[in-house]
Amino acid sequence: MTTVKIPDGHGNTLTLLEVDGHYYPNSSADVIRGIRDVTIRNDDVLICAYPKCGTHWLWEIIRLLLVGNTDGEIREKDELHLEFVANDVIEKFPSPRILNTHVQFHQLPQTVQEKKCKIIFLARNPKDVAVSFYHHHKNLPMYYHYHGTWDHYLPLFLEGKVDFGSWFTYMKNWEKEMKNHPELPFLTVMFEDLKEDSLSGIKKMADFLGVKRSEQFYHAVSERTSFGQMQATKGRLLKEHGGTSIVYRKGAVGDWKNHFTVGQSEMFDQLYREQMNGCNFSFRYSTTDSVP
């Protein structure tokens, strides 16, 4: 295990954990290396996403669909986050488990392919991801020790010098692996689509999971997992040093427009075209605009 300080070129550093050539947030190298040995069950559901794509939100939707009840206790997805929870703890959880991770496909538990558990892949437009990740790193100084500005931070994100590496590499690798493994049950969910029409997304996920609920229940799940509700209930469990929610900051589509300059946006678009050439993922920068 090696703790590294990644410089942003302006005298600020981002503190990360480096394990076998990959960057992670502050965790345990043994836990991270143990991900490959996690024993997968047939009825596990695995949520995979790059950080800041809405995993907390999606995890709660899936949990409510599986339990069939919106009035239960508040639970948090970190209890089954593969990068932070040891195998012996994960093993004790009753089925069905909703596991979640930010690692690449080849870093998943080895038994994923054998058990063919359902995998939900969540994606979000990269400009909003970058902005959300910036605030995440700034709002957790006790872990990341990062004090740079947005202008200082953006190059780190673009160069993949953040936990879990390059967004571009992550997305391209996942697309390739999903094509290479047609035998595995994948469902891709786009953050913007779910935000625009949560009810349709919830029904699609229920069909994928093989659970049949009432129309009234789907509406209840949509209401229970609205950003305002999530911020009021689960958001209070995850506060940063300033008292605001770490995870449920805005949950908005298009917040990048409040951070990117015109020059930064154009540079990002050019890099996107270069890096994602041939990629079939389609990302919306808002609910009406497409990536140039």
Catalytic residue among 56, 81, 102, 136: 102
Encoding tokens for residue 95? 């089925």
163: helix, strand or coil = coil
Structure-token match 């008292």, residue found: 243
Give the span between the Cα atoms of 116 and 252, in whole angstroms. Answer: 33
In single-letter form, the type of residue at position 74 comes to I
Told to judge if 102 belongs to the known catalytic residues of this protein, a careful annotator would answer yes
Q: In what order do the strands lie in the sheet with 13-19?
A: 2-7, 13-19, 22-24
Helices in the chain by DSSP H: which ranges? 29-33, 55-67, 87-92, 112-115, 126-138, 141-144, 150-158, 167-180, 191-196, 198-209, 215-224, 227-233, 262-275
Catalytic residues: 102
